[in-house]
Amino acid sequence: MRQGAKEALEVLVRARYSLVYVVSWEEQRVLSVVEEVAERLRKKVIRWSVTEGMEGEADAAPGDEEARALAALDYVIKSYEPALFVLLDFHPYLKSPKVVRRLREVARELKATHKTVVLVSPVLELPRELEKDITVLDFELPGMEELAGLVEGILVSVRQSAGLQVELDEQQREEVVKAALGLTLTEAENVFAKSLVMARRLDADIVRSEKEQIIRKTGILEFYRTDAGLEDVGGLGLVKEWVRKRRKAFSEEARAYGLPAPRGVLLLGVQGCGKSLCAKTVAREWRLPLLRFDVGRIFAGIVGESEANMRRAIQLAEGISPCVLWVDELEKGFAGTQSSAASDAGTTARVFGTFITWLQEKEKPVFVIATANDIRQLPAELLRKGRFDEIFFVDLPSRGEREEIFRIHLRKRGRDPERFDVELLARAAKGFSGAEIEQAVIGGMFDAFDEGREVTTGDILRNIEQTYPLSRTMSAQIGMLREWARTRARRASAEVTEEVEEAQRGGTLEAIETMMGAMEEERVTVGVDE
Ligand SMILES: Nc1ncnc2c1ncn2[C@@H]1O[C@H](COP(=O)(O)OP(=O)(O)O)[C@@H](O)[C@H]1O
Ligand SMILES: [Mg+2]
């Protein structure tokens, strides 16, 4: 269960965990939480940093940095006081085999004492040898209350300054605080200062756009804006219904009614059929911010940073919650988890494990909407019960749905669908995905535009005829996907595409044939008896 960092730290200290690693950029916030926990448990807090040495000790230990790090650990072992030893930015010394060894000894020695070592650092660099000895604690980003306190402090301190419009009514104040969710206290402070400079007041729009830039710089998450709504998605009727039904799912009203907040869905299926499109629209439907999570980027950076990247993404999403977290093409990011041949398969699997555990245990209202084209690359754990509320299988559109998609894309480009024989187009576009339908519309428009006239049904029809849809080349793969999904996923739509219909009919025919065969045989047997 994920709880507040303070409670979590207290539990660990009481349970006599020797080594805790707190990952955070916010040293001051972490320190004040450590102080609070120490006070409750009647322990001292003793700080160490490489520049200042051990707090309360007259002279910092002599020697190079490694020697000083080792001296700090010796001090911890020898000390008799019940205390929390906070080692600030200790991570560089974890590269030294001697320090790592000594930490393992600290872990052992401290087991039966009232001492705990708390490593505080903005980066997580955990040597393999220490994985079992150190407990990593993610420090959640400041919540509404803490940010409100910061806003209040700023308002008080600038009230005297001339020319600053500092009075905010309750609603404005809440907006400013909400806009800052997802930032650290220091970042929020800087953003507020910038707003005061730019607008002479605290402005929610400025705060929000500054925040979006800060988050984009992490390279993993991005605020995503789209005009697309559910009405722009053709087909996928059951998914749309599921989403619409949960329009108020994140409200107080729903909680009071006794409903849990939706956790997430996975849209899985044929490429180009509207999975990504549909995923994007959910946030707008529910009036929540949309964050796009680029799983590929998690592993793109320096090896060893991927774990920290994953944790940071989770922390950010939770900080901004309630929100929708869109994970597009999930399989791309985690493709390495299954092949043991991949050199970093271990890392990928571990980082993926962090994600799965979070999916299952998260308590903050982060709704995850993930898409995937290829199930073969998805680890089986992901598809187990409890990870997602639903797994929807998105198939090729049925004839009726293709009509709907033609209408959507004609309308989107300023054309009245009534002027086209949409029924004919839909029939001709058998086996086409939504993306291919869109391309046929665009292609037809280009042809007509080139000839200086208005686009007609014929133009689009010609483009359909010139297209060889992917479903034909990939028919075996799609068949497998369908077979897989039949028992493991819900259908995204109540309608079926002709191909499936034919197969089903084929299936029935086959069954009839077998039956007839059996009857035939029976007759023969009967005949012999006579
Ligand atoms: N069901 C659909 N309804 C409307 N447009 C669609 C549909 N499916 C695909 N499209 C069009 O094709 C584009 C690409 O589809 P996308 O959602 O990326 O497919 P997927 O994620 O399933 O591979 C969409 O942005 C949209 O313009
Ligand atoms: Mg997609």
Q: Ligand 2 centroid to 327 CA: how many Å?
A: 10
> What is the model's pLDDT at position 448?
97
pLDDT at 256 over 60: yes
Considering every ligand atom shown, identify the ligand nearest to the alpha carbon of residue 292 and give its number. 2
Q: Ligand 1 centroid to 407 CA: how many Å?
A: 14
> What is the model's pLDDT at position 350?
82
Residues 383 and 480: beta-carbon distance below 8 Å: no
Q: Ligand 1 centroid to 391 CA: how many Å?
A: 18
Span 133-156, average pLDDT: 88
Q: Ligand 1 centroid to 275 CA: how many Å?
A: 6
Q: State the DSSP H helix or E strand holding residue 221, giving kind and residue range, or none if neither.
A: strand 221-223
Of residues 430 and 122, which shows the higher confidence score?
430
Residue ID of nearest Cα to ligand 1 atom 13: 435
How far is it, in rounded angstroms, from Cα 415 to Cα 428? 20
Which CATH code for domain 399-465? 1.10.8.60
Which ligand 1 atom sits nearest the alpha carbon of residue 277?
Answer: 17
CA distances from 37 to 110, 119, 513 (A): 18, 15, 76
Confidence of residue 140 (pLDDT cuts 50, 70, 90): confident
pLDDT tens digit string along 365-412?
999 999 999 888 788 888 888 899 999 999 999 999 999 999 999 999
Residue ID of nearest Cα to ligand 1 atom 18: 276
Q: Ligand 1 centroid to 241 CA: how many Å?
A: 18
Residues 172 and 207: beta-carbon distance below 8 Å: no
How far is it, in rounded angstroms, from Cα 505 to Cα 499? 10
Residues 462 and 444: beta-carbon distance below 8 Å: yes
Which amino acid makes up residue 126?
A: L
> What is the model's pLDDT at position 124?
84
The two domains 144-217 and 230-394 share their CATH topology (first three levels equal): no
Q: CA angle at residue 4 from 107 to 305, to 5 degrees?
A: 60
Q: Which of 170-179, 393-402, 493-502 has the lowest mean pLDDT?
A: 493-502
pLDDT at 518 over 60: no
What is the DSSP track for 39-87?
A: HHTT-EEEEEETTTEETT-SS---S-HHHHHHHHHHHHHH--S-EEEEE
Alpha helices in 141-294 (DSSP H): 144-158, 170-180, 185-199, 204-217, 237-245, 252-257, 275-286
Collect all residues with Cβ–Cβ distance below 8 Å to 401 and sequence separation of at least 6: 234, 235, 493, 495
Confidence of residue 520 (pLDDT cuts 50, 70, 90): low
The DSSP secondary-structure symbol of 466 reads: T
How far is it, in rounded angstroms, from Cα 164 to Cα 192? 13
Mutate to test the pocket of ligand 1, among 399, 405, 438 (most ligand atoms within 8 A of CB): 438
Considering every ligand atom shown, identify the ligand nearest to the alpha carbon of residue 407 and give its number. 1
pTM, full prediction: 0.81
Q: Ligand 2 centroid to 39 CA: how many Å?
A: 52
Confidence of residue 6 (pLDDT cuts 50, 70, 90): confident
Span 148-169, average pLDDT: 80
Mutate to test the pocket of ligand 1, among 273, 275, 405 (most ligand atoms within 8 A of CB): 273
Q: Ligand 2 centroid to 370 CA: how many Å?
A: 10
pLDDT at 413 over 90: yes
The CATH label, of 1.10.8, 2.60.40, 1.20.272, 2.20.28, for the domain at 144-217 is 1.10.8
% of the chain surpassing 90 pLDDT: 53
pLDDT tens digit string along 271-315?
999 999 999 999 999 989 999 998 888 777 665 678 888 888 898
> What is the model's pLDDT at position 337?
61
Which ligand 1 atom sits nearest the alpha carbon of residue 435?
Answer: 12
pLDDT tens digit string along 458-489?
999 999 999 999 999 898 889 989 988 888 89
Which ligand 1 atom sits nearest the alpha carbon of residue 404?
Answer: 3
The CATH label, of 1.10.520.10, 3.40.190.10, 3.40.50.300, 1.20.200.10, for the domain at 5-138 is 3.40.50.300
230-394 is classed CATH 3.40.50.10860: no
How far is it, in rounded angstroms, from Cα 139 to Cα 4? 8
Q: Which candidate, 367, 366, 359, places its Cα nearest to that of 279?
A: 367
* Residue 342 backbone dihedrals phi, psi, to 5 degrees: -60, 135
How far is it, in rounded angstroms, from Cα 492 to Cα 457? 29
Q: Ligand 2 centroid to 330 CA: how many Å?
A: 10
pLDDT at 100 over 80: yes
Q: Domains of the chain: which residue ranges?
A: 5-138, 144-217, 230-394, 399-465, 497-530
Considering every ligand atom shown, identify the ligand nearest to the alpha carbon of residue 330 and give its number. 2
What is the Cα gyration radius of the chain?
30
Which ligand 1 atom sits nearest the alpha carbon of residue 232?
Answer: 4
Task: Report the SS3 class of residue 135.
Answer: strand
> What is the model's pLDDT at position 414?
96
What is the number of residues in the chain? Answer: 530
Question: Which residue do the tokens 């200086």 mark?
Answer: 452
Average pLDDT value for the chain = 87
Span 242-261, average pLDDT: 92
pLDDT tens digit string along 50-96?
988 898 876 655 678 899 999 999 999 999 889 999 999 999 999 99
What are the pocket residues of ligand 1 if the criterion is a CB atom closer than 6 Å to any ligand atom?
A: 233-236, 271-277, 371, 405, 408, 434-435, 438
pLDDT tens digit string along 199-212?
888 999 999 999 98
Q: Which candidate, 395, 369, 413, 376, places its Cα nearest to that of 274?
A: 395
Considering every ligand atom shown, identify the ligand nearest to the alpha carbon of residue 229 and give its number. 1
Q: Ligand 1 centroid to 394 CA: how many Å?
A: 11
Which ligand 1 atom sits nearest the alpha carbon of residue 397?
Answer: 1
pLDDT at 18 over 60: yes
pLDDT at 338 over 70: no
Residue ID of nearest Cα to ligand 1 atom 20: 272
Considering every ligand atom shown, identify the ligand nearest to the alpha carbon of residue 327 and give its number. 2
